[in-house]
Structure formats: structure tokens, C-alpha cells
Homo-oligomer: A and B are copies of this chain.
Amino acid sequence: MNEIVNEHLFWRKDFHPEDDPVISLANQNEKGFRETQETTTNVLRKLCAKLKLTSMPWHSPRYLGHMNADILMSATLGYIAAMLYNPNNCAYEASTATTPMELEVGKDFARLMGFDTDIAWGHICTDGTVANMEALWYARNLSSIPFAVKKVRPKLVEGMSDWELSNMKIADILDLVDKVQDVWDEVRDSSVRGTGVNQAQLGKWIVPETKHLSWVKAVDVLGLGLDNEINIQVDKHFRMDIKILEQTIEDLAAKKIPILGVVGVIGSTEEGAIDHFDKIIALRKKFEEKGVSFYVHADAAYGGYARSIFLDEDNNFMPYNSLKVQLHKLNIINQDELDWPSQDVYNAFEAVSQADSVTIDPHKMGYVPYAAGGIAIRDKRMVDAISFFAAYIFEKGTDVPSLLGSYILEGSKAGATAAGVWAAHHVLPLNITGYGRLIGASIEGAQRLYDLVQSVEHFEINGTKMRFESLIKPDFNMVDFAFNIEGNKDLEKMNRLNLDLYNLSSYVSGPVYKDDFITSHTKLDYEDYKDAPLELVKRLGIPKEEWDKVHSLRVMRACVLTPYFMNDKVTENYWQKYVESMKGKLEELVPKFI
């Protein structure tokens, strides 16, 4: 840190030695300067005190809540180093050092997803929400191009019906874009960009019920309207139910309603579930034979970096069996009995390479500071459908994609973010030896936690027996769980108990210093999840009829991002502390519930 700061200070000082310092030493002794310095110090001390008093201890293994853990030193210091120079990656002119880093990081994303880096493209977004909006922007604008071509160059789509235009494959649309470059402005002005949204032409955007809130926002912001978003129910593993997806597409096609696109989630935010992405891709192939095609997006905001686990040092996606051998051989998975990944999870990660675009958040499993989301697209020609130019960010002689602000949803953006992510990627390669090792440790930690929860026969609280159950064997690194008092068949009562327990295990009960473990929580409602939570409800001793009445389940939600549960000893140590802490809290709570 000191090295970084000193280097920057000398750079400033020595930029033009013949210039006098604008603030001389004499100025620095003036009253006004000293007063401002004092105010600054006072304000910063106040700020630090506030931060220290209430901030969440992401770094501690006691924090098992949101998608947060300790962040990488390289990323934090890389961010700070660049921030002192304050580059703006909107325009290359304002970020000659950090725009190339962002483009390099974008290539890293594309490579990680299995895209061909010669034709793919990627960049950093402020977060996954904006990345998802950008993906929908791609899908929406691209799907209107065939209609625009019909207007400007009808010969090129001669004989095609509106239904056929709505169902053109993305690759074919891009070939069409190539053919109309001479009248591109006219075509673009005749697409959604010019005319605005025409819902009937665009059709339905399909997401799983476990989708992130950002999809609801995106469909609103992009002007499609929630009526045009279809939520597909999840199966008992909390993955999008592929049969229902297939039936839905079938029904829409029968009614000649186009499908704008399908989103598969690689790591749902509430359960860490990994959708069957391979089956989504297979469905598209199957339907394409019947003349029905659509955009496919992988929302891997959460799980994206975990694809590193599957890549060898040459970035090849390893065969299933050798992957398993490697995971144990490299001590990434230390538990002999741990059978991760399942074939389902493996297949899903493999198939991400077939997506049209992928959202990936460095500030989640990339272990870098906020705010850093990202997107990769499989074919950079897609950019034509959304790009812009502005006089003041267009410069002679520069490669076009370095004017990032003209090619993405955002404008001004911190070059420091790119520097932080770039530094992290250079310290930890995006394969099994780098991020794979780090994320592997967190997945193993989650599996250990799951096993430990499941190993508890009964929890005894002053003579009262408690049930303690996990939701599902995690696909990834999240464990949801809940407590119930043995014999209690009242679901609302159980929900209140778990909510109160959460309140005692979070900021709600006061400064976090007092809490021995900090977690998060979530609510699984029938409206979103149908009967998927029922299996856990039953294991907790609540009958089906009660679920049918209440239709809502509260669970604690522990995202095990910490890589520090790396061996039995540490895990056992924290587990004992955890059990003690929970017992203490339950001793306080249970008497109120019996």
C-alpha cells in the first residue's frame, strides 16, 4: 500500500518538474489550509468509527450470510492503485492504462465461458443487474433486426413470414447484419431502437422462478412489460423444471407467440441451484428443427467464476472423470467422500459455452470489492445492435471498441474496477489452479456445513428437542436451513421462530460484535416456488395440510463464500462454536414458543 501511494505521489510531483507546486509549502502553513486539513481528518475519523461499529465482518468465518467473504488483496490494492490516477473507462482518452485492462478482463470472461475469444467480447458492468439489462437489450434489439431488414432490404428476407422472422437463429441474424452494413443506420433506425418496442413481434422472455429480482426490473425498464415475462416453476432441486419449460415453448409456438429468449440461472441467489443449462441448449436445438428459435442467456452472476474449477491450465474443459481425480489430487477437495460436482452440475457448466451471452459478477465469486459486474457475448457482431457514438468520445485512429461508453449500457465508469479485476486475474488464473482452488474450497466448506447440519439427529434446548434441517444438498456453495421444535405442527409458529433466530444472528439485534454468527435469511413462498419447499417442510415435522394453508417458509440462508473451512479441524472448530451460539440463542427463544 505504501509503495503504491508513494509511487503515485512522486508521479504527481515529477510530472513537470519545471512547474511550481500549485499549493506551496507556504500555502500549507496558512490558516485556511490547516483548517481544511483538520476538518478532513475529523470527518475521516468519524467515518472510520461508523464503519468499525457497524460493518459486517465479511473476513471472518463467523459470517455465513450474503455472497460476501474476504476479498483478494490483489484486487483491493489494484483498485486503490488505479483509483489514485482516477481513470474513466468510458473513453480511451481518459483511461489509456485501464481500458486495455478492461478489454483483457472481457476476454478472460469470454475464455472462462468457453467462447471463442477471437469472435467473443466482454466487459465490466457496474453490477449483475445492469449486465442482465444489457443482455436483454441485446436479445430485444437483435430480434427486431430481421423485421428492420424486411423494411429496408426486403429482398434479403424474401418469402419469409413474420413468424419466420421472429424465429431466426441469432447466428443468421448476425449474418444478415453483415449483409446490410452499407445501410446499417437505416436498418438500425427501423429496428426497436428506432420504432420502440412492439411486444407482439418480440414475444416472451422466459426465466425460472428462482430468477434474480433484476429480471423483473429488466423487463420493466426495457419496455417489454411483465406480462411478457414467463416464470417457469422449479423442480425439487430448485432448478428450472425442464419439462415445464418444454411444454411452455410448445404451447407458445402452437399459438404462434414468439419466444424472445430463455434465461438459465447458474447459481440461484436464494438456494445456489444450478439450472440444467445443457437441457435448455438441447431444447433450443430440438425446437430449431421445428422452426422455433430464441436467444439463450446464462445468468451466472453468482456462479460464473466457478467455471474455473472445470478448466485445466490450458483452459480446456476437463472430462468429468479426470476433473474428479484432479480435484482430489490438487487438494481442492480434501474430503474423500465428497462427490462434487454431480453430473448435472458438470453438464450445466459445460453447456454455458453455448449461450449467446453470460452475466458474471467479479464482486461475487471473483472476490473483488464492489461494484464489479460483467458480461460476455459469444459474437462481437452483436454489439452493432446496441452501440452508439458520441462526438466527444470518438477519436481518430483508435480501435473502436476501446470507446467503451459507446458500446455498453453505462457511460462513465471507474477504470479502477478494471485494474482491480485485472490484478486479481493475474494473481489467480481462471482455471483449476487459480480461482478453481479458491472457489473449490468454498464449495467444500458448504458441503461440510450441509453434512454437519444433516448429521444432527436432534438439538436439545433445555430438554426441548429441536429439528434442524437443510433445504437441499447444495449444487454450489449455499446452504439454506431451518429449525423447528419437535412436535410443533404450526408452520407460522416455526416461521416466527426462524425469523427471530435470524434477527438474533444479524444486524437487527444491534452491533454485530455481539452476534457470534451472522447469517441471512429468505422466504420461500408457494406463489414463486409451488411445492418445492414441501419436502423440507415435511422433514421439519410440518404436515402437508399446514403447508397448503400457509404456503410460506422462512429459512436461514448461509452463503459459504469463505474459503477458510478448508479442513476438518477448522470446520469442526467453527461448527462447535456455531452450535454453541445457536443453542444460546435458541435457549432465549424457545421458551417463548412452547
Contacts and interface: CB of A to CB of B under 8 A. Distances in A.
B44 A370 contact: no
Contacts of A171: none
A50 B97 contact: yes
A422 B47 contact: yes
Nearest to A507: B96
A427 B44 CA distance: 9
Interface stretch (A7-15, A251-259, A319-327): A7-15
Contact of A411 (B4, B129, B386): B129
Interface stretch (A211-219, A347-355, A452-460): A211-219
A221 B137 CA distance: 7
Contacts of A79: 83
A25 interface: no
Given A77-B44, A412-B371, A412-B373, A557 B392 contact: yes
A414 interface: yes
Given A22-B570, A44-B78, A369 B86 contact: yes
Interface stretch (A232-240, A337-345, A393-401): A393-401
Nearest to A361: B412
Contacts of A395: 508
Given A197-B196, A522-B391, A508 B396 contact: yes
A146 interface: no
Interface stretch (A58-66, A160-168, A468-476, A530-538): A58-66
B392 A217 contact: no
A389 B216 CA distance: 10
Contacts of A80: 80, 83
Contacts of A246: none
B130 A126 contact: yes
A86 B370 contact: yes
A405 B213 contact: yes
A128 interface: yes
A61 to B, nearest CB: 6
A135 interface: no
A231 interface: no
Given A91-B66, A225-B197, A419-B51, A414 B371 contact: yes
B84 A388 contact: no
A83 B369 contact: yes
A94 B68 contact: yes
A306 interface: no
Nearest to A88: B370
Contact of A86 (B58, B92, B126, B361): B58
Q: Name the residue in A22, A90, A130 with the highest tally of chain B Cβ atoms < 10 Å from its Cβ.
A: A22
A122 interface: no
B193 A220 contact: yes
Nearest to A2: B2
B520 A392 contact: yes
A446 interface: no
A521 B522 CA distance: 52
Interface string A492-518: 000000010001001110001100100
Given A48-B81, A94-B56, A227 B196 contact: yes
A86 B60 contact: no
A194 B419 contact: no
A266 interface: no
A130 B217 CA distance: 14
A55 B97 contact: yes
A416 B369 contact: yes
A145 B90 CA distance: 35
A304 interface: no
Nearest to A63: B15
Interface in A69-85: 71, 73-74, 76-85
A8 to B, nearest CB: 8
Given A212-B411, A214-B411, 13 more contacts: A20-B573, A40-B423, A44-B78, A51-B98, A56-B96, A66-B93, A66-B94, A68-B88, A71-B86, A189-B226, A213-B388, A222-B223, A391-B524
The 5 closest A-B pairs by CB, nearest first: A223-B223, A196-B225, A129-B411, A213-B390, A197-B223
21 contacts: A12-B59, A15-B60, A40-B73, A46-B426, A56-B85, A56-B96, A92-B507, A129-B411, A129-B412, A137-B220, A137-B221, A140-B223, A196-B197, A196-B225, A212-B390, A213-B406, A216-B388, A269-B392, A369-B416, A370-B414, A395-B508
Interface of A: 1-5, 7-8, 11-12, 15-16, 19-20, 22, 36, 39-40, 43-48, 50-62, 65-66, 68, 71, 73-74, 76-88, 90-94, 96-98, 101, 126-130, 133, 137, 140-141, 189, 192-197, 199, 212-214, 216-217, 220-228, 269-270, 361, 363, 369-371, 373, 386, 388-397, 405-406, 409-417, 419, 422-423, 426-427, 499, 503, 506-508, 512-513, 516, 520-525, 528, 557, 564, 570, 573
